Amino acid sequence: MAQVIRPYGDSWGDGQVQLSFTLPLPAGPRAREAAKRLAAQMGLDNVQIVHSKDLQGFTFFILYGSCRHGVDVSALSHVDEEERSMSFEEINAFIEEQIGRRIVVVGACTGTDAHTVGLDAIMNMKGYQGEYGLERYPMFETYNLGSQVPNEALLQKAVEVHADAVLVSQVVTQKDIHIKNLTELVELAEAEGLRHRLIMVVGGPRIDRALAAELGFDAGFGPGTTARDVAAFLAREVARRLERGE
């Protein structure tokens, strides 16, 4: 049964949303009218321009309005909630029991990206937010290649150390450089016949599961991820593949 929800401002179904954008028009009644029309096209009723600022040739707007659109919650049931998390000890025990050997991972910030903090947070001893990194897990063998690593070099290293998984970090996203770069990595892995042998994981502030899947990765991790989340996923995924006899 359809169960449609709408944004909530201060009462059920009021549809209130806040919006801001800049239009390439000089400030004035025409720019205001354009802003209102745009908001109307976005499905907002009762549009209120609460602020506009002349940026010389451009106008910045802040608006509120009531969004006509709704989302049917019953249609979201296919979206998985997160898997139960496991503790450091549970994960190591799980790997020992179910897999019986260390999981090998190779990580890198690829392309021209030099933002290593996120990957280090997942891979290095020290970890992040009080959670140790993968390096600290007795049942993981880790190689952190650092920053600005070409896709070729990453795959080469993965082959060299018989990696179960590659962990890619992408932080710079301007003009969708990360999409380009990640797509290239998957294509390269496929071309080299490595794709099915590797669990491919991507992380970064603009990454989530949906995007990762779309780009052909096995998992994607966004802001706030800790090594434990990644370790649990890898442990389960390697076990699943063993079970399936891959």
For ligand B12, the binding residue among 47, 225, 232, 234 (CB under 6 A) is 225
H helix or E strand, kind and range, residue 85? none
Which span (75-83, 135-143, 156-164, 191-199) binds its own copies, by CB under 8 A? 75-83
Catalytic residue among 36, 53, 126, 157: 126
Say whether 126 is catalytic.
yes
Residues in CB range of 116: below 8 A, 6 or more apart? 109, 146, 147, 169
End-to-end CA distance of the chain: 40
- d(C-alpha 109, C-alpha 88), whole Å: 25
Provide the Cα torsion 80, 84, 88, 89; round to 10°: -140
Q: Sheet holding 165-169: strands in order across?
A: 140-144, 103-109, 165-169, 199-203, 219-221
- d(C-alpha 12, C-alpha 6), whole Å: 8
What is the DSSP code (8-state) at residue 224?
T
- d(C-alpha 67, C-alpha 14), whole Å: 8
Binding residues for its own copies, rule CB under 8 A, total 47
Q: Does 11 bind ligand B12 (CB under 6 A)?
A: no
For another protein, the binding residue among 36, 148, 194, 209 (CB under 8 A) is 148
When CB distances are held under 5 to 8 angstroms depending on the partner's kind, the choice from ligand B12, its own copies, another protein, none that residue 97 binds is none
Residues serving a catalytic function are 126
What does the binding site for another protein look like in residue numbers (CB under 8 A)?
8-12, 16, 18, 20-22, 48-51, 53, 55-58, 60, 62, 64, 112-114, 116-117, 146-148, 172-175, 177, 205, 223
What does the binding site for ligand B12 look like in residue numbers (CB under 6 A)?
107, 112-119, 121-122, 128, 167-169, 171-174, 201, 203-205, 221-225, 230
What does the binding site for its own copies look like in residue numbers (CB under 8 A)?
5, 7-9, 12, 16-25, 28-30, 32-34, 36-38, 41-44, 46, 48-49, 58, 67, 69-71, 73, 76, 79-82, 176, 206, 208-210
